[in-house]
Amino acid sequence: MKVRIYVEGGPQAIDANGLRRFRSGFKRHFERVDPRLEAIEVVAPGSTEQTIKRYAQGLKQYSDHSRVALLVDSDSPVTANSPAEHLRAKLDSAKVPQDARTNIFLMVQCMESWFATDATALKACFGDRLRENVLPRNPDIEVVPKKDTLAKLAAAVKPTPAGRYQKIQHGAKILAELNPDTVAKRSRHASGLHAFLLRSLRA
């Protein structure tokens, strides 16, 4: 069955070209999970709230013939029993039906947490002057606070020609290079997302 996934792609004020780059970056990353996922439909509306609103609309429009899924930052440690419970207040605000809250996934604690697991992908974007040794070393990347991940990523990028990490400018390129297996080894929520995508190929 076809998958339509709504992914958090940046602030609401992001430009249209930036959103297109994010969609392309996520799509290429998902294709690295399995090349057969090239048919996946990626929608990147912007902020967490905007993405959830569009997801709620998508459930009404596409659920009859597609698996409709949601992928957003957790922004904090996940202590709830499920991604849906972690996002409960925002899902309630967007009026997402209780019985439609199954295909919900989190980047824990943020998209940059995924990036921090793969120095090879970062070097493909920033070059060999990247300070790989300052990236978070915890084997469970999900327990590293968002602010620490962002600070360490900034420190790693500082000596490179880019000088600093910019989400809109660099995020899509890193996503396209990101190794799903490397991410999944350190993020159980990413592993769960990959399992869902692979199951969708058998549906």
HSE (side-chain half, CA atoms, 13 Å) at 64: 2
Residue 49's CATH number: 3.40.50
Q: Which structural domain, as residue segments, surrounds residue 42?
A: 2-110+181-202
H runs (alpha helix) in the chain: 16-33, 48-62, 83-86, 88-93, 111-115, 119-126, 146-157, 167-177, 180-186, 188-202
CA distance 180 to 105: 15
Q: pTM of the entire structure?
A: 0.94
- One domain, residues 6 and 61: yes
Taking 70 as the threshold, does the pLDDT of residue 99 lie above it? yes
Q: Give the pLDDT confidence score for residue 96 in this predicted structure.
A: 96
Give yes or no for a contact between 66 and 79, defined as CB atoms under 8 angstroms apart.
Answer: no
CA distance 99 to 172: 32
CA distance 2 to 200: 7
Residue 172 inside a domain? The answer is no
Residue 146 inside a domain? The answer is yes
Residue 174 inside a domain? The answer is no
- One domain, residues 106 and 185: yes
Residue range 181-199: average pLDDT? 98
Q: Give the pLDDT confidence score for residue 121 in this predicted structure.
A: 98
- One domain, residues 62 and 146: no
Domain count, the chain: 2
Residue range 95-100: average pLDDT? 94
